[in-house]
Structure 1
Amino acid sequence: MPRTMSATEYQELGKKYYKQKEYQKAVDAFTEGIESMSIPSVSILNNRAASFEKLENFKLAVKDGRDMIKIDKKDVRGYLRTGNILQKMDKLDAAIGIYKYGIKNVSVADENFKLLQGIHDKLTRQLSPPKAIDPFVILPIELVEMIISYLTFRNMVTCLRVSKQWNRFLISRTPLWINLDLSYAKRQVSAKFVRNCIRRSQYKMKSAIVQRFTNQDVLRSLATTCKTLESLEFLSGSIAGDSLCEITMCATQLKKLTLTSNISLSLDAVTQILRHRPSLTHAEFHSIVTTGVRADWRVDLPNLQKLTLGCGQESSSPFSALLSLPALFPRAPNLLDLSLSHWRLHPNLLEEHDFTPLTSLTSLTLTRFTLSAFPRLPSSLTTLHLSSDNATIFTPLAPLAARNDQNALDSHLPHLLSLSLTHIAGLGPTLLSNLLLHHGTTDSAVDLSAATKLHTLSLAHAGILEKADLFALLHNPRLSALRALDLTAAPVDDEFVDTLALTQPALASLDLSKTRITGVAVKELLKRLGRQLKWLGLDQCTGISSDDVVELARGMGVEVRRRMMEPKGGKGRAVGRYFG
């Protein structure tokens, strides 16, 4: 009997019979439609398989399901239909195989992919012993993504080798690759690996930490193709200054650039980078090589908020005049954080000691610095850190001492929260007191109550003239809420305990290393300060003769660091002995 209907019409007729629960007639109609087609469609095979399933003819239903998969491996319906029928036939292992094959071939973007994954995971949990379950199988995809996001980049790369399923999943998740971190690298990183990471991010990489990788072509490609790149940090590598300049110029959206002490760069290259990339908000150069040529700042840097300039020539720290700081400051009016290390301030260039033009500055760090006079500071500072390895002396002899005290007085810091003056000798009581004063609206008024209270104070290896000066300093109202105090090598003895406990009741961290305090005084201090004290430094405290105080502190929940220096081999060689 010749057919008078098309395949589509037979399919619609079969659907009508199916709705009327006349499943055999539905099968017959779908069969007519299939036979009229040179290649059956997945849709009509799915309809007939459903009808066979209702008739409990599972063998023919599975055959139609497998035919659906053969016709289109990317269509999720074949896997769902076949797996479901196999489950009804109690062929669970075969069903898992079908679902797994589907997960491999169906696009993650398919709206029913999560349904396929979920059925596979649920069935796997039923058949597998708990200890053998793959977490990717147990957990929903959203939760897996959340967990993976907490892993370090190194651990995530390690997970690529767990299984093919993990590898496919991780490679397909673009957000996991937008932050490249090679800080873990123990050997040279291949160019192929970095190229793969860039491709997996779909060229949307936002940050890169580079270590043991020197392929300039790949770095240039990274900066050029990843238009969203905002942060570059170089931890090691032999990259020339010209190449670094070119790479930064290619990264048009770059906001943060960090070159650690392992990356040397000329002062001229530093100025070129800042001139060509004025969009930078964060720039750190920790190993600058000087040639005696002064920095030439030719462009305004209104976006720059954090700047670190470290000299790499430790043995011969050059004068900071080479930095042309007075010329830089007007160019970077919004600078919030400035850090300078291994430089010398010229004693005869008073403008080099003046940081007051930086009216927005909140943090100033001068480390391993040679200071001949106390700098003048902006009132906006909340953090001040001055340190030197050569016991920089603010001489007590006039007129320099008078200038130091006046500079401190002119640099009133009403917002200061953290103060660190370490390895600096000759810190007189007048200078410190002036530094902590808060000036009122009138020329002569001093209002300490309106000033913020310091949270952190470090006077490690700082030359306090007399013990009485230190005691008086701790009575300053601005120091009544200290959370951290470092008095390493200060004139502290047992008499100090009462004053410290009385004036500093909120201390959580206290360093009394290299002081004359005894174990008895430490026990009293622990008793008086209570359980808010969390850390205590007792290095080279020769007055402490036993470890009882360490055990007592531990019992109170206090972490103790105690290192005693002892001669070794009779040659006076010092080694550390650690307690706690």
Structure 2
Amino acid sequence: MAKNQDMTWDNPVMYLKYGRDLARKGDYKRALMFMDEALKQKDANVLDILDNRSAIYSKMGKYDLALKDARRMVKTNSLDGRGYLRAAKALLLEHKPEKAAEIYAYALKTLPEDHSQRPLIEELHSKLTNKMEPKRLDPFKVLPPELVFMILKYLNFKTILKMMQVCKGWNRFLLSYQEPWLKLDFYNKKIPLKAMRTYLARSRGSLKYLSANPSRDDAAKVLEIIKGFRNIEHLNFSCTLPSGLCLDVILNFKQLKCLILRVGLGMAMDNIIDILRELPKLETLQLREAFLTDDNDHGSIPPESLPNLKRFIAEIDFVVHQPRGPLTLPWYKPAPLPAPFVGRVSDEDAWNRVPNLEELRLECPKVGPSTAFNLSMERLRYGTNLRILVLWRVAFIGPIVFPPNLEHLSLVYCKRSPPIPDNEANLQGVRLPPKLKSLVLANVSFIKDQGFHNLLTSLPEPTLESLRLEQYFDVQPYHLINLVQNSRVLRNLRVLWVEGMYTLCDRDLRNLLPELPNLCELHIPHTSITGVSIRYIVDLRTIEGTRREKVESEEIDDDERERRPFIETLTIPGCENLSEDAVQFGRSMGLKIKKEAVEASMQYAFTGGLYW
């Protein structure tokens, strides 16, 4: 580059001075030219020139070049504070306050205590850090205690424990708040025994809820600790100790209303009856991996009445050394109900012992395709207050008669024993309860083809609101279409779940949906539908939305025959023929579409949303 006529001095100070004058006038481009020339001169004061050039770059908005010159200053002389100040300034202008604070902190670490520029850097660092810190107010001091207690009710025990570690003030406040210590949940949480002992001590004997699954080494110690808590109302306890050791402690909790128990070596029938007899306030008894014994003449006497018992849930397991086939197990009782209805009394008298039982769930473990436990459904018909019945891997013996007031029924992997080849004979005289609202059928071997149609149409009124068919290969789309077109039994259906019906296609949905005017949720994973179905569902939503607006404005009457399903949720994992564009279109039109695999366990779905 040819020299400018003004740039003819040999003294670098003149270039620096003239460059500063140009910078003050706003001529930054020419000012940079003079700074560059100043650096080329002999005996140039590099730090002064870089300091001014970094300032000019900052004025021009070239913060990366300004930062580069500042770093060069620090590298040239780390004890000159101007380099740190210029670097921090460039970073602040670039909206990087965290980086600028780091530069100030590094400068304070490098510069000696008596450095002339240290006080300025300390002041700038303090102002910057204070500005970066958000304004924090202690909610326990600002908010009224009543409001704080209301908020704390929505927090789980684990969160409260973390809050106690924030500061001593929070720790004292939370220790004075009794509510969290009434409900302690240690289940699947790696909490040392010492800490568990401390938390239990803080409840001051008023513990109401306890959930724990201690390790094999700690189980006996935990039982010893909780022995004195006589006010426990809800206990969820799982361990590998023998049932006798656990029950020695648990049977002293006379206030128990809910007991969820899983012990090692199984839970015998004697133990179950002891629990029901010794804990009269029990409303829910849930036994995990309970083992039934072959001791018919057990010493325990069933209680005469259990008026508080509302839910009995048992996961029935087989003794390892016993054969695992159905029907022929020698230790199986003649009346194969692992509940208090097993004494030497008539069926009606047995059910009179549990007059308020609303939920019965019995499950046999999955140990083989033929595994099941025998159950006489005739015995259940006396359960007039039963609302929920869930049966897993049951072999029905004798006539199939459902309790009369059932509202939810789940049959999973059930069969007849002995099997009846004629499908019509399997369901001869079988009628669904007249108040049934929810039905789950999964691989029920004796309900198929025309039998499925006959079973559903046995409902006298269209009370069914939820229907789930899972792994039900004996029911095809035309069975459903024939059902809805020739009967009104599914007219009030709100939730339809059909999984594994691979032949279900767009044409089938077009024939099916108009007959389900109240449908809100449609779950059809692993089917053959395409984007055509999504478009059709969106069109139905539009038609029904318009109709509802006219009904609200009283332009037309609410004619049931004109209703169309307004589907809000569509579940389609495993539908490989659906394009992403179709899914995005449906979502853009307000349809909630779930493509991911259903995370809820099979057991959760089959129990109507009731977890073990």
Shared fold, TM over 0.5:
yes
Query: SS at the partner of 2:499?
Result: coil
Aligned to 1:341: 363
CA distance in 1, matches of 2:202, 2:521: 45
Residue 563 of structure 1 and its aligned partner are, at CA, apart by: 5.8
1:559 alignment partner AA:
I
Query: SS at the partner of 2:470?
Result: coil
Residue 423 of structure 1 and its aligned partner are, at CA, apart by: 1.8
Residues 316-465 of structure 1: pairs in structure 2 closer than 5 A? 316=324, 321-322=332-333, 324-325=336-337, 327=342, 329-330=350-351, 331-342=353-364, 351=376, 354-371=379-396, 375-388=400-413, 397-398=421-422, 401-406=424-429, 408-409=430-431, 412-428=432-448, 431-436=451-456, 448=460, 451=461, 453-464=463-474
Residues 92-111 of structure 1: pairs in structure 2 closer than 5 A? none
CA distance in 2, matches of 1:454, 1:540: 27
CA distance in 2, matches of 1:405, 1:392: 13
TM-score (norm 2): 0.60
- Against the structure 1 CA distance between its residues 346 and 226, is the aligned structure 2 distance closer, same or farther, given a 3 Å change threshold? closer
Tell me if 1:540 matches 2:574. yes
Aligned to 1:114: none
Residue 461 of structure 1 and its aligned partner are, at CA, apart by: 1.9
Deviates more, 1:308-317 or 1:549-558: 308-317
Q: Is the 8 A contact 1:354 1:377 kept in 2?
A: no
Query: SS at the partner of 2:428?
Result: helix
Aligned to 2:482: 472
Residue 317 of structure 1 and its aligned partner are, at CA, apart by: 6.9
Residue 552 of structure 1 and its aligned partner are, at CA, apart by: 2.2
**Cα RMSD (Å):** 3.4
Residue 151 of structure 1 and its aligned partner are, at CA, apart by: 0.8
- Against the structure 1 CA distance between its residues 432 and 405, is the aligned structure 2 distance closer, same or farther, given a 3 Å change threshold? farther
Q: Is the 8 A contact 1:507 1:529 kept in 2?
A: no
Residue 394 of structure 1 and its aligned partner are, at CA, apart by: 9.9
- Against the structure 1 CA distance between its residues 433 and 200, is the aligned structure 2 distance closer, same or farther, given a 3 Å change threshold? same
Aligned to 1:163: 167
Aligned to 2:21: none
- Against the structure 1 CA distance between its residues 422 and 279, is the aligned structure 2 distance closer, same or farther, given a 3 Å change threshold? same
Tell me if 1:552 matches 2:578. no
Residue 209 of structure 1 and its aligned partner are, at CA, apart by: 0.9
Residues 276-287 of structure 1: pairs in structure 2 closer than 5 A? 276-287=278-289
CA distance in 1, matches of 2:289, 2:252: 23
Query: SS at the partner of 1:414?
Result: coil
TM-score (norm 1): 0.63
- Against the structure 1 CA distance between its residues 139 and 374, is the aligned structure 2 distance closer, same or farther, given a 3 Å change threshold? farther
CA distance in 2, matches of 1:357, 1:386: 19
Q: Deviations over 1:323-346 (max 9, x none)?
A: 732626433232110000017666
Q: Is the 8 A contact 2:377 2:397 kept in 1?
A: no
Aligned to 1:511: 523
2:198 alignment partner AA:
N
For structure 2, list consecutive stretches of 5 or more residues without a partner in the other structure. 1-132, 344-349, 366-370, 546-565, 599-612
- Against the structure 1 CA distance between its residues 277 and 220, is the aligned structure 2 distance closer, same or farther, given a 3 Å change threshold? farther
CA distance in 2, matches of 1:345, 1:368: 5
- Against the structure 1 CA distance between its residues 332 and 431, is the aligned structure 2 distance closer, same or farther, given a 3 Å change threshold? farther
Residues 175-190 of structure 1: pairs in structure 2 closer than 5 A? 175-183=179-187, 185=189, 187-190=190-193
Structure with larger Rg = 2
2:314 alignment partner AA:
L
CA distance in 2, matches of 1:376, 1:345: 19
1:484 alignment partner AA:
V
- Against the structure 1 CA distance between its residues 403 and 396, is the aligned structure 2 distance closer, same or farther, given a 3 Å change threshold? closer
Residue 217 of structure 1 and its aligned partner are, at CA, apart by: 4.7
Residue 379 of structure 1 and its aligned partner are, at CA, apart by: 1.2
Q: Deviations over 1:471-500 (max 9, x none)?
A: 122343231122211112335222222232
473, 496, 500: which one aligns with 1:489: 500
Residue 291 of structure 1 and its aligned partner are, at CA, apart by: 4.0
- Against the structure 1 CA distance between its residues 452 and 203, is the aligned structure 2 distance closer, same or farther, given a 3 Å change threshold? farther
Q: Deviations over 1:303-334 (max 9, x none)?
A: 21100111234993765944732626433232
Aligned to 1:288: 290
Query: SS at the partner of 2:200?
Result: helix
For structure 1, list consecutive stretches of 5 or more residues without a partner in the other structure. 1-128, 440-447, 565-580
Q: Is the 8 A contact 2:266 2:291 kept in 1?
A: yes
Aligned to 1:194: 196
Deviates more, 1:292-301 or 1:510-519: 292-301
Residue 177 of structure 1 and its aligned partner are, at CA, apart by: 0.9
Aligned to 1:237: 239
Q: Is the 8 A contact 1:271 1:295 kept in 2?
A: no
CA distance in 1, matches of 2:573, 2:246: 43
CA distance in 2, matches of 1:486, 1:248: 41
CA distance in 1, matches of 2:489, 2:592: 26
CA distance in 1, matches of 2:307, 2:159: 39
Query: SS at the partner of 1:552?
Result: helix
Corresponding pairs, count: 415
Query: SS at the partner of 1:132?
Result: coil
- Against the structure 1 CA distance between its residues 289 and 468, is the aligned structure 2 distance closer, same or farther, given a 3 Å change threshold? same
Residue 245 of structure 1 and its aligned partner are, at CA, apart by: 1.2
Aligned to 2:229: 226
CA distance in 2, matches of 1:383, 1:551: 35
Residue 230 of structure 1 and its aligned partner are, at CA, apart by: 0.9
Tell me if 1:204 matches 2:212. no
